[in-house]
């Protein structure tokens, strides 16, 4: 089971955080600090895995954004990499050629997509099609045209 | 840049004033957030950011509380506060509004509200309670999206105690027409299962329905739950293996809709989940494993595309193949796969390959040999993680021959490493290796020195204490011990002579203890010098008070003799005015001891007796004081865990003043008391002044430690190696063997050597690393059996039960770790090597054996002795009245105790094949064996055949009398001949034998049986008690035959119910002071878990259930008609917390052990 998922920029700014197990605030802050420090310190051409306490950390960089998740002992690292990749694919499909700014300015959308994709630290829906369908369904339900138009054009 | 900032700041007020106007809807919401974000990103310093965000928060706060804010604006405000929170600034004022938004908004706003709630609040936030109603409403909504949102939020933040509120509705959703709802409901239940498994117990049937759901997504989700449940009890789900295999086959065969493909691999997530489940189900189960070979093979074959996800599947496949019952063909393929991983240029794959290899070498060490060069390359890899993983691999293949090289490698990695967690882990591993394989004393001490100085104070305290215990208890050879101690003293003296200011406290403590205890062993050493060194240490800055007190007790031990006494006296004087009370007290004691030589000699005898130390762990000498205090109205002492639990229950506000202060102060009292002289007298031995109470040879601790070792690292080794004889290490192959001696030396000091060519060096390293890994016997599946005898074999303790853990630990290296020791008679029957079968075969005269076989045919028996035997036992058992297993309170003593394990009745295969005729005839006899009339009404075990040869067959039955255990032995003459001078002897060291009957007979006619019984008493509980016995007889004068047999008894055989009332129980409970706490597994398969669990315990162990009140139960039993043991249980989450009290300090531990066994076997 995935314990947490963090998105942060190359400068170490947190862009998204998701905790699948409840943790006290201080612990979360510590994890974020440690993750950012550890992942950013990695040299190129090293593997995408790390150890942190008893967790396995899997991270991957997409453009200027690092996706980083913490796994339990029995989880498969390669699979987690693919989970990250699938999430990026979903974001890409939703935003259309996603970039960091999309996620910064529409971070709540990124959360919604994540909630459709993962639930309780496990993959909920593996089919790309149905995730985007359900996101769009709830989006379109209420989003007025006006709002749609005023979506920032970066 | 700064002017940009300035501009922004000046622009802010106008922006903000715009915002604060009610109904400023013209500015689009996203752009407000956008503006805010842009402002932040333009800032350069943390300080400015803080200022800006504080301002922003103030604005938001102002707006959310304004009554004019519409829900839509609220949504936007929530998004902004989420952003602030993400940057690490608290926006707690918004929490309540997030809940309101989720409650009142339309769908889109609701979604933002729920999101905000799940980000803001964590599980135990009190505001969550306000959410329950909203969630309930949304769960019942007809709008699918609302239901989805509610399910999502339920799975994210709902704590344990709120689950019952929503559970029925979530459960209902399992049959919702929409698959997305069903899927989410299943996942929500999965989450519930994780946090509160017993609350969803009743839904297990519905999980099965979800597994059969027509939508693959729902089915996939249900697998999460199954994985979890199967992990907990694989045996209960064996019936599903067929379904899982079918599903996997369909998935692999591409039967799922294309929608589920991921990079043209069909549902990889589903595949891996299934593989994991199958490997759990197939572990150690040949027949189950056989059903999955095909599909595993198919998965391996299909997953050959060059993509990450296929590698992930392959990795999982390989793991599964090595977990389940082995099949040569698959193993070969899996090994090839691992090879591909390890050799891959992709670093991620290499990493996984190493991991897989680490997993696999436990089963087949020769695989490491194939990849030795790759492993060596990885050892010098630039990526520390790869290096670390390689060391892990090396750790698994360490043996007595390569230990020096591997430990050297690990230590050099440790010197570079700065991650605490890794250091602790590796230090522990080095300590383990050093203890197990150390080639000589010198190396051992040196390595431990490095371990202590590198591990520092992070090190778990059990490493130094186990090191010290090893020194104190010693091994079997006196000379060796002495040498070890002297070497330790020497090397620590030289450590202290150098600069020791940087040394960690733990190390200093170890040093001072060793010097205090053993410096007298070294000849020609001036003790004054030691005292001076220690004194220097005492004066050194940065030495903690704890360490000082260790040093002081070392000084106390050393201060014999005139010159030293003066030095020590000076120390004592200097401490007389210190502020630290503990030190001052110790100084005081020191002075007293110096002045009174005879007292000193009595308190601290020179060669400290290692084992004779008697610690009264129940502190019975204080009983009088306690009872006086109780009589005077003091509150009874409660152990910390009980206090804590009560504290937990008292969470709800109470109006009474806190009653806790008394026990608290009591406990602090005892802490200081520990330094009193009475304690000093008992601390001279092994763990002199260890400040950990747990190290103080507490009975419970010892037991636990033993258990941990047994089931620790090697515990999960494949159980198959029972059949493996404890062979010596295989001879290393050819070249390696001849060269390894020098190589080891070369490598361990590579620096001063002239640099040999790179490649050669690697080769050398390879040969020294992989020496001793069997290469010829690749099919052997023995795990890492400790073929070599560990260097430091702990001395077995003979005199008390608490040490059984320790002695088990020392022997488990040669035995298989799963020796289910208490299966009755296991020792004599299942082990391959014991003398008995061999001896009996030697004594079996051929012709008579043949006649025996004729006999067997006449009896019309099948040749399968094993089945026959079992059948006999079953018939036997059926004849007796069996008490109904579910009766609860009443205690019915007339019952048959089934044997703990069926294995108990199985005759070893070896024996079976050689003496088929006799065993089978013996089987037939066991059907007619009857207990003597006067014993038939007593509860007793099944009759088990112990041993037989061609003439005589010995069976055994345990009869449980109220005041004793009767061992009833049946001798049956299986021939037509008359046997003369039949004599039987039974002996057992730990038990007291009472009367016996019928153990000598002058003659025994053909085809008759005779019965003799022994009365056995147990005064001190022992977990297992072996007994041995011999039968001798003569077929004709002068031809003496002897049969040896052995077996095991357990405490369980000696436990009798203790019938008393609740009031009596209460009184008795208070009269014992010492108690032991443990958590037991709660049986959750049927009915009320507490009652079910207690019933099982009652049936297996003859306990008397005194009373059950709500979630608590009290149980009593006693050791025969002697010492009582009281057990108090309370359901605590998924486990059963039990407290045990008894007048015999080792009784609770034994009982706990058997309770655990009983529950495990249930």
Residues 6+ apart with CB under 8 A from B1109: none
Indicate the length of chain B as a whole number.
1162
Whether the complex's predicted ipTM surpasses the cut of 0.95: no
Whether A58 shows a pLDDT value over 90: the answer reads yes
Q: Cβ contact (<8 Å) for A78 and B308?
A: yes
Phi, psi for residue A52 in degrees, rounded to 5? -140, 120
In chain B, what residues touch A130 (CB-CB under 8 Å)?
180, 217, 259
**What distance in Å separates the CA atoms of residue B901 and residue B1050, rounded to the nearest whole number?**
13
Taking an 8 Å cut-off on Cβ atoms, the answer to whether B272 and A112 are in contact is: no
Beta-bridged to residue B262, according to DSSP, are B265
Distance of alpha carbon B406 from alpha carbon B765, whole angstroms: 10
Longest dimension (CA), chain B: 121
CA dihedral B537→B613→B636→B1066, nearest 10 degrees, is 150
Q: Which residues pair with B1050 in a beta bridge?
A: B1024
Residue in A43, A119, A138 closest to B111 by CB: A138
CB neighbours of B543 closer than 8 A, spacing ≥ 6? B505, B508, B537, B551
* Number of A–B residue contacts, CB under 8 Å: 162
Is residue B1059 helix, strand or coil?
coil
A139 pLDDT tier (thresholds 50, 70, 90): low
Instruction: Verify whether the Cβ–Cβ distance B86 to A54 is below 8 Å.
Output: no
Phi, psi torsion values for A57, nearest 5 degrees: -105, 130
> Residues of B with CB below 8 A from A113's CB?
none
Tell me how far apart the 2 most distant CA atoms of chain A are, in Å: 49
**Rounded CA gap, B53 and B36, in Å?**
9
Percent share of chain B, pLDDT over 70: 71
Query: Is the C-alpha dihedral spanning B504, B507, B508, B509 positive or negative?
Result: positive
Q: What is the pTM of this model?
A: 0.58
Residues A143-151 have a mean pLDDT of 44
Query: What Rg do the C-alpha atoms of chain B give, in angstroms?
Result: 36
Closest CA in chain A for residue B315: A76
Task: Supply the pLDDT for residue B634.
Answer: 82
Phi, psi of B600 (to 5 degrees): -60, -45
CB < 8 Å to A58, chain B = none
DSSP string, B484-504: HHHHHHHHHHHHHHS--TTS-
The closest CB to that of A108, out of B112, B270, B352, belongs to B112
The residue of chain A nearest to residue B105, with distances taken between CA atoms, is: A142
Is residue B127 within 8 A of residue B91, CB to CB? The reply is no
Q: Say how far apart CA B546 and CA B26 lie, in whole Å.
A: 69
Q: Which has more confidence, B122 or B670?
A: B122
The H or E element spanning position B1130 is: strand B1124-1132
DSSP-derived pairing of the beta strands B1112-1119 and B1024-1034: unpaired
Strands B1009-1017 and B1075-1081, by their bridges, are unpaired
* Minimum distance, in Å, between the CA of residue A76 and any CA atom of chain B: 7
Between A49, A50, A108, which is nearest B115 by CB? A108
Please classify residue B177 by burial: count the beta carbons closer than 10 Å to its beta carbon, then call 0-12 exposed, 13-18 middle and 19+ buried: exposed
- Does residue B825 surpass a pLDDT of 70? no
pLDDT for position B887? 37
CB contact under 8 A, B217 and A86: no
For residue A104, list chain B residues with Cβ-Cβ distance below 8 A: 37, 41
- Range with top average pLDDT, B317-321, B531-535, B664-668: B317-321
> Which residues are within 8 A (CB) of B134 and not within 5 positions of it... i.e. 6 or more apart?
B99, B102, B103, B150
Option in A17, A127, A151 nearest B260 (CB) = A127
Phi, psi of B372 (to 5 degrees): -60, -40
Q: Of A115, A124, A137, which has the smallest distance from its Cβ to B221's Cβ? A: A124
What is the DSSP code (8-state) at residue B884?
P
d(CA B134, CA B61): 24
pLDDT at B716 over 60: no
State the pLDDT at residue B804: 40
d(CA B925, CA B911): 18
Report the alpha-carbon angle B681-B683-B685, nearest 5: 110
Task: Measure in Å the smallest separation between the Cα of B753 and chain A Cα atoms.
Answer: 32
Q: Confidence band (pLDDT; 50, 70, 90) for B387?
A: confident
Which residues of chain A lie closer than 8 angstroms to B194, CB-CB? Answer: 1, 120
As a whole number of Å, the CA-based R_g of chain A is: 16
pLDDT tens digits, one per residue of A67-108: 999 999 888 888 899 889 988 988 888 888 888 888 888 888
Q: Compute the Cα dihedral for B757, B760, B766, B769 and give only its sign.
A: negative
Residue contact B382–A46, C-beta within 8 A: yes
d(CA B990, CA B1027): 9
pLDDT attached to residue B34: 80
**pLDDT tens per residue across span B240-258:** 888 899 999 888 888 888 8
Phi, then psi, of B631 in degrees rounded to 5: -65, -35
**DSSP at B208:** H
The reported pLDDT for the residue numbered A68 is 94
CA distance B44 to B6: 11
Supply the pLDDT for residue B417: 80
What's the full length of chain A, in residues? Answer: 154
Which is it for strands B940-941 and B896-897: parallel, antiparallel or unpaired? Answer: parallel
B794 neighbors B1012 (Cβ within 8 angstroms) = no
Nearest by CB to A150, from B30, B187, B316: name it.
B30
Residue of B nearest to A110 (CA): B115
CB B282 within 8 A of CB B242: no
Q: What is the DSSP letter of B324?
A: B
B298-332 pLDDT tens trace: 888 877 667 888 888 888 888 888 888 888 888 88
pLDDT value at position B681? 34
Q: In chain A, what are the helix, strand and coil shares in percent, each to the nearest 5?
A: 45, 25, 30
Evaluate whether B928 touches B825 at the Cβ level (below 8 Å): no
Rounded CA-CA distance B1023/B710 in Å is: 15
Pick from B443-452, B857-866, B963-972: least confident = B857-866
- Stretch B619-640: mean pLDDT: 81
DSSP assignments along B990-1024, one per residue: SSEEEEEE--EEEEE-TT-EEEEEEEEE-SS--SE
pLDDT value at B596 more than 50:
yes
* Between B920 and B1049, the higher pLDDT residue: B1049
Q: Judge whether residue B495 has pLDDT over 70.
A: yes
**Rounded CA separation B469/B483 (Å):** 16
Tens of pLDDT, residues B14-62 = 333 333 333 333 334 456 778 888 888 787 788 888 888 888 888 888 8
Q: From A59, which residue of chain B is nearest by alpha-carbon distance?
A: B348
Exposed, middle or buried: residue B1023 (CB in 10 Å: 0-12, 13-18, 19+)? buried
State the pLDDT confidence band at B573, using cuts at 50, 70 and 90. Answer: confident
Backbone angles phi, psi at B250, to 5 degrees: -65, -40
Residue in A1, A51, A123 nearest the CB of B385? A51
Q: Is any Cβ of chain B less than 8 angstroms from the Cβ of A34?
A: no
Q: How many CA atoms lie within 13 A of B593 on its CB side?
A: 28
Mean pLDDT of chain B: 71
Contact A78 B311 (CB under 8 A): yes
Cα–Cα distance for residue pair B386/B379, rounded to 1 Å = 8
Other C-beta atoms closer than 10 Å to the C-beta of B723 total 10
Sign of CA dihedral B11, B16, B21, B26: positive
Q: Is A49–B351 a contact, with Cβ atoms under 8 angstroms apart?
A: yes
Q: In 3-state terms, what secondary structure has residue B402?
A: coil
Asked whether residue B680 carries a pLDDT value surpassing 70, the answer given is no
The answer to whether the CB of B166 falls within 8 A of the CB of B152 is no
Contact between residue B322 and residue B359 where contact means Cβ atoms under 8 Å apart: yes
> Which SS3 state, helix, strand or coil, does residue B539 take?
helix
Strand, coil or helix: B712: coil
- The answer to whether residues B625 and B670 touch, using CB atoms and an 8 Å cutoff, is no
A23 in contact with B at a CB cutoff of 8 Å? Answer: yes
Alpha helices in A1-127 (DSSP H): 25-40, 77-95, 100-105, 107-117
Tell me how far apart the alpha carbons of residues B418 and B912 are, in angstroms, rounded to a whole number: 59
pLDDT, residue A7, reads 92
Three-state secondary-structure class, residue B782:
coil
Query: What pLDDT is attached to residue B1137?
Result: 83
Q: Are B190 and B157 in contact (CB under 8 A)?
A: no
- Residue B404's φ and ψ, nearest 5 degrees, are -65, -45
C-alpha B154/C-alpha B136 separation (Å) is: 10
State whether A120 and B29 contact (CB < 8 Å): no
User: Closest chain A residue to B256 measured between Cα atoms?
Assistant: A127
Strand partners, B1055: B1119
What are the angstrom distances between the C-alpha of B62 and each of B19, B65, B66?
11, 6, 7
User: What does the pLDDT read at residue A6?
Assistant: 93
Dihedral, CA of residue B25, residue B31, residue B36 and residue B40, to nearest 10: -170
């Amino acid at each position: 089971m995935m314990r947490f998922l963090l998105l942060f920029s190359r400068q170490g700014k947190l862009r998204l955080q998701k905790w699948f197990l409840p943790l006290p605030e201080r612990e979360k802050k510590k994890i974020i600090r440690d993750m950012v420090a550890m992942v950013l310190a990695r040299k190129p051409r090293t593997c995408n895995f790390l150890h942190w306490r008893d967790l396995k950390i899997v991270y991957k960089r997409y453009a200027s954004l690092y996706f980083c998740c913490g796994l339990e002992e029995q989880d498969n690292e390669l699979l987690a990499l693919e989970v990250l990749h699938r999430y990026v694919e979903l974001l890409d499909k939703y935003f259309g050629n996603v970039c960091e700014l999309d996620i910064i300015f529409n971070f709540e959308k990124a959360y919604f997509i994540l909630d459709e994709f993962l639930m309780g630290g496990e993959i909920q829906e593996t089919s790309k099609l149905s995730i985007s369908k359900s996101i769009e369904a709830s989006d379109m339900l209420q989003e007025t045209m006006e709002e749609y138009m005023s979506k920032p054009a970066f | 840049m700064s002017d940009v900032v300035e501009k922004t700041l000046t622009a802010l007020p106008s922006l903000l004033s715009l915002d604060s106007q009610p109904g400023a809807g013209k500015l689009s919401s996203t752009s407000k957030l956008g503006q805010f974000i842009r402002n932040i990103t333009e800032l350069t310093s943390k300080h400015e950011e803080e200022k800006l965000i504080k301002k922003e928060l103030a604005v938001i706060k102002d707006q959310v509380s304004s009554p004019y804010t519409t829900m839509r604006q609220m949504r936007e405000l929530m998004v902004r506060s989420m952003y602030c929170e993400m940057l690490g600034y608290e926006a707690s004022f918004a929490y309540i509004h997030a809940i309101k938004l989720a409650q009142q908004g339309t769908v889109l706003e609701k979604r933002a509200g729920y999101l905000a709630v799940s980000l803001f609040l964590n599980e135990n936030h009190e505001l969550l309670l306000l959410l329950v109603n909203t969630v309930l409403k949304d769960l019942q909504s007809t709008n699918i999206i609302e239901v989805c949102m509610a399910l999502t939020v339920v799975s994210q933040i709902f704590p344990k105690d709120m689950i019952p509120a929503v559970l029925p509705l979530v459960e209902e959703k399992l049959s919702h027409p929409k698959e997305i709802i069903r899927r989410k409901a299943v996942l929500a239940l999965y989450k519930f299962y994780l946090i509160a498994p017993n609350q969803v117990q009743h839904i297990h049937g519905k999980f099965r329905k979800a597994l059969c759901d027509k939508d693959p997504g729902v089915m996939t989700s249900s697998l999460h739950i199954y994985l979890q449940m199967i992990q907990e009890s694989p045996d209960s789900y064996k019936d599903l293996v067929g379904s899982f295999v079918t599903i996997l086959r369909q998935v692999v065969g591409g039967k799922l809709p294309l929608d589920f493909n991921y990079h043209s691999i069909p549902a990889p997530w589903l595949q891996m989940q299934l593989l994991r489940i199958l490997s759990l189900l197939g572990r150690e189960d040949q027949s189950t494993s056989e059903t999955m070979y095909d599909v595993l093979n198919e998965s391996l074959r299909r997953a050959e595309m060059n993509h990450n996800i296929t590698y992930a599947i392959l990795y999982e496949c390989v793991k599964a193949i090595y977990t389940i019952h082995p099949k040569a063909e698959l193993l070969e393929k899996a090994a090839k796969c691992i090879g591909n991983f390890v050799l891959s240029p992709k670093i991620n794959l290499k990493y996984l390959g190493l991991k897989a290899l680490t997993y696999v070498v436990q089963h087949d060490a020769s695989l490491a040999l194939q990849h030795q060069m790759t492993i060596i390359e990885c050892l010098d890899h630039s990526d520390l993680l790869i290096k670390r993983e390689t060391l892990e691999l090396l750790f698994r293949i360490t043996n007595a021959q390569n230990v020096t090289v591997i430990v050297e490698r690990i230590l050099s990695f440790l010197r570079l490493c700065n991650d605490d967690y890794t250091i602790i882990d590796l230090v522990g591993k080095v300590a383990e290796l050093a203890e197990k394989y150390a080639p000589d004393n010198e190396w051992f001490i040196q390595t431990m020195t490095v371990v202590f100085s590198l591990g520092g104070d992070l090190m778990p305290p059990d490493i130094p204490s186990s090191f010290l215990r090893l020194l104190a208890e010693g091994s079997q050879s006196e000379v060796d011990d002495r040498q070890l101690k002297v070497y330790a003293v020497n090397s620590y003296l030289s450590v202290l002579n150098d600069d020791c200011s940087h040394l960690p406290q733990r190390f200093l403590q170890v040093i001072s203890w060793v010097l205090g205890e053993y410096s007298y062993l070294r000849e020609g050493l001036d003790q004054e010098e030691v005292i001076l060194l220690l004194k220097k240490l005492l004066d050194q800055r940065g030495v903690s008070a704890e360490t000082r007190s260790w040093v002081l007790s070392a000084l106390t031990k050393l201060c014999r003799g005139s010159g030293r006494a003066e030095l020590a006296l000076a120390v004592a004087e200097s401490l007389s005015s210190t502020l630290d009370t503990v030190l001052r007290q110790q100084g005081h004691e020191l002075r007293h001891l110096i002045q009174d030589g005879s007292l000193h000699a009595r308190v601290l005898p020179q060669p400290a007796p290692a084992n004779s130390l008697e610690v009264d762990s129940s502190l019975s000498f204080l009983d009088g004081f306690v009872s006086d205090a109780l009589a005077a109205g003091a509150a009874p002492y409660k152990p910390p865990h009980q206090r804590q639990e009560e504290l937990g229950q008292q969470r709800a506000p109470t109006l009474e003043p806190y009653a806790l202060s008394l026990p608290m102060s009591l406990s602090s009292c005892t802490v200081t008391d520990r330094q009193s002289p009475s304690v000093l007298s008992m601390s001279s031995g092994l763990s002199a002044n260890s400040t950990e109470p747990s190290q103080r040879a507490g009975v419970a601790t010892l037991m636990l430690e033993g258990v941990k070792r047994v089931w620790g690292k090697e515990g999960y080794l494949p159980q198959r190696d029972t059949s493996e004889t404890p062979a010596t290490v295989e001879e290393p192959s050819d070249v390696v063997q001849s060269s390894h001696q020098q190589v080891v030396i070369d490598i361990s000091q590579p620096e001063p050597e002239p640099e040999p060519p790179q490649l050669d060096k690697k080769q050398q390293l390879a040969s020294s690393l992989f020496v001793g890994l069997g290469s010829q016997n690749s099919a052997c599946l023995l795990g890492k059996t400790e073929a070599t005898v560990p260097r430091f074999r702990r001395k077995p303790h003979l005199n008390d039960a608490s040490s059984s853990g320790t002695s088990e630990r020392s022997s488990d290296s040669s035995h298989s770790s799963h020796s289910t020791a208490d299966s009755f008679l296991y020792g004599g029957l299942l082990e391959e090597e014991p003398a008995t079968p061999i001896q009996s075969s030697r004594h079996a005269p051929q012709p008579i054996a043949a006649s025996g076989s004729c006999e067997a045919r006449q009896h019309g028996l099948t040749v399968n002795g094993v089945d026959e035997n079992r059948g006999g036992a079953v018939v036997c058992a059926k004849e007796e009245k069996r008490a109904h297993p579910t009766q609860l309170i009443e205690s019915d003593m007339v019952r048959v105790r089934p044997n703990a394990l069926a294995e108990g009745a199985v005759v070893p295969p070896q024996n079976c094949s050689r003496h088929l005729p006799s065993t089978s005839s013996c089987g037939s006899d066991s059907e007619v064996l009857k207990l003597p009339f006067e014993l038939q009404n007593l509860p007793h075990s099944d009759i088990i055949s112990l041993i037989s040869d061609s003439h005589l067959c010995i069976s055994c039955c345990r009869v449980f009398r109220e005041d004793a255990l009767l061992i009833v032995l049946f001798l049956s003459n299986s021939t037509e001949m008359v046997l003369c001078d039949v004599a039987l002897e039974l002996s057992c060291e730990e038990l007291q034998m009472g009367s016996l009957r019928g153990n000598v007979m002058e003659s025994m006619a053909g085809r008759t049986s005779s019965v003799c019984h022994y009365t056995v008493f147990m005064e001190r509980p022992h977990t297992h008690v072996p007994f041995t016995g011999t039968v001798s007889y003569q077929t004709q004068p002068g031809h003496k035959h002897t049969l040896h047999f052995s077996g095991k008894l357990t405490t369980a055989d000696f436990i009798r119910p203790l019938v008393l009332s609740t009031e009596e129980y209460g009184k008795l409970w208070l009269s014992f002071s010492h108690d032991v706490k443990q958590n037991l597994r709660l049986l959750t398969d049927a009915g009320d878990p507490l009652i079910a669990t207690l019933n099982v315990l009652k049936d297996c162990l003859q306990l008397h259930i005194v009373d059950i009140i709500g979630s608590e139960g009290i149980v009593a039993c006693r050791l025969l008609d002697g010492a009582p043991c009281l057990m108090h249980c309370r359901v605590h989450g998924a486990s059963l917390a039990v407290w045990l009290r008894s007048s015999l300090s080792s009784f609770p531990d034994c009982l706990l052990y058997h309770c655990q066994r009983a529950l495990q076997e249930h």
